[in-house]
Amino acid sequence: MRQRSIKKFKQRWAKINEFQDNELRKLSIREKFYQLSSIFRLAMGMKLDFSEDQEKRKVRSRWVILKRGNL
């Protein structure tokens, strides 16, 4: 019984994700840009810091190396 309910749960979320993907594909470039612009204006209004410190840069470069498999 539990396995069946888990499977149904996953199926419902797959349908929701598919619907959302289709809705995003329908948006024009203008609408997507407007949404992105709104997010940036909100972040700037909240005075969020977009700068990247040196430590984050080091960690990200390590992740890139690990992802590529170049140890």
Is 71 in contact with 65 (CB distance < 8 Å)?
Answer: yes
Angle at 44 between CA 40 and CA 45, to 5 degrees: 115
In tens, the pLDDT along 12-46 reads 999 999 999 999 999 999 999 999 999 999 999 99
Is 19 in contact with 25 (CB distance < 8 Å)?
Answer: no
Q: What is the pTM of this model?
A: 0.50
Q: Give the Cα separation of 33 and 39 in Å (integer).
A: 10
pLDDT of residue 70: 65
Tokens of 43: 């972040």
Average pLDDT over all residues of the chain: 90
